[in-house]
Amino acid sequence: MSEIKYNLHNHTYFSDGELSPTEVVELNKKLGYNVIAITDHDSVEGIAEAVRAGERLGVLVIPGVEVSTAKSHMLGLFVDYKNPELLGFLKQRRLREKEVSNYIIKGLAGVGYKLTPELISKTTNAQLLNPWKISLALVRLGLVSDEKTARDLVRKVPWLKVELPGTRSASKVSEHEAIKLIKGAKGTPILAHPLSNKKQRFRYLQMPFRVFMLKRAGLAGLEVQHPDHSRFERAFLHSVSTLLSLHKTGGADFHNDSNGQMKHWGEIHQSKGVRNSIKYLRVRK
């Protein structure tokens, strides 16, 4: 393979993205990326299609997933996307997500926002119903002015006299549980966009110890490069990962490029450290 140009964080319409897996691979190819990862939220349904597209286009597609936890998102790279335990967990997560989405639709209807699963799918190109797609549909249909308003409205649905049922196993898991799940599927656990939450106080002071404890649980790396990270934050995370001997990764966190994610990502320097991690992990796999 020629020099690696990577984008290790992409979503398809199997989670909160809008393009098919093939279209995501084609877009990355067009922009010059030859090593990419498909990392849908709590889903591996788009990986097989993306791998086939990558083989046809000469793009290495790394199978991945982004697991939502109670505190963060955990990327799993190089996962065995046919692993029974992983598939079982994701199936339960999807059932829970569908259940919550139906309750959200019911709650929104109670305050005048009329949506149906069919309308949401048609408006957002959704393959699977989830709260992200509901938020996007509210904007696309002109029912609210912007995505932040839509997301805030969806989050407040439990206040709209709609009780959201569910169990812990089907909703939020801990970071340690996510790491164990990913490692059980022969994947590499990476803490996604660790500093993207700008409202979290003392995040710089807490980060090294937090990451150290996660490493003891099996964390393998940090997503150092991300469009939401400033130059200072990228340098800070690079130092933390080097100090703790963790792998470094980076990606556009691509969804639909309405916010210029790919353009911003293209302006971020391709790191030699990330390239080295990709080469090392690929050889190990």
What is this structure's pTM? 0.89
Task: Mark whether 17 and 76 lie in a shared domain.
Answer: yes
Count of structural domains, the chain: 2
Residue 282, SS3? helix
The whole-angstrom separation of Cα 127 and Cα 243 is 41
Order the strands of the 188-191 sheet from edge to edge: 6-10, 35-38, 60-68, 73-77, 188-191, 221-225, 247-250
**Domain final residue pick, 142, 168, 194:** 168
Whether 1 is in a domain gets the answer no
**Domain final residue pick, 118, 151, 168:** 168
CATH number of the domain where residue 76 is located: 3.20.20.140
Task: Mark whether 139 and 279 lie in a shared domain.
Answer: no
Task: Mark whether 185 and 274 lie in a shared domain.
Answer: yes
Task: Mark whether 164 and 96 lie in a shared domain.
Answer: yes
Per the DSSP assignment, residues forming a β-bridge with 6 are 35
The whole-angstrom separation of Cα 184 and Cα 180 is 6
Task: Mark whether 112 and 75 lie in a shared domain.
Answer: no
The whole-angstrom separation of Cα 223 and Cα 219 is 11
The whole-angstrom separation of Cα 268 and Cα 265 is 5
For residues 4 and 279, the answer to whether their CB atoms sit within 8 Å is yes
Task: Mark whether 77 and 162 lie in a shared domain.
Answer: no
The whole-angstrom separation of Cα 125 and Cα 185 is 29
Whether 279 is in a domain gets the answer yes
Task: Mark whether 54 and 195 lie in a shared domain.
Answer: yes
Q: Which residue in 64, 5, 62 sits closest to 268, CA to CA?
A: 5
The residue whose two tokens read 């302006």 is 267
Domain that holds residue 51: 6-82+173-284
For residue 70, the surrounding DSSP H or E stretch is none
Residue pLDDT tens, the chain, 285 long = 678 999 999 999 999 898 999 999 999 999 999 999 999 999 999 999 999 999 999 999 999 999 999 889 999 999 999 999 999 999 999 888 888 899 899 889 988 999 999 999 999 888 888 888 999 999 999 999 998 899 888 887 765 554 444 433 445 799 999 999 999 999 999 999 999 876 665 678 889 999 999 999 999 999 999 999 999 999 999 999 999 999 999 999 999 876 677 888 988 889 999 999 999 998 876
**Domain final residue pick, 120, 151, 168:** 168
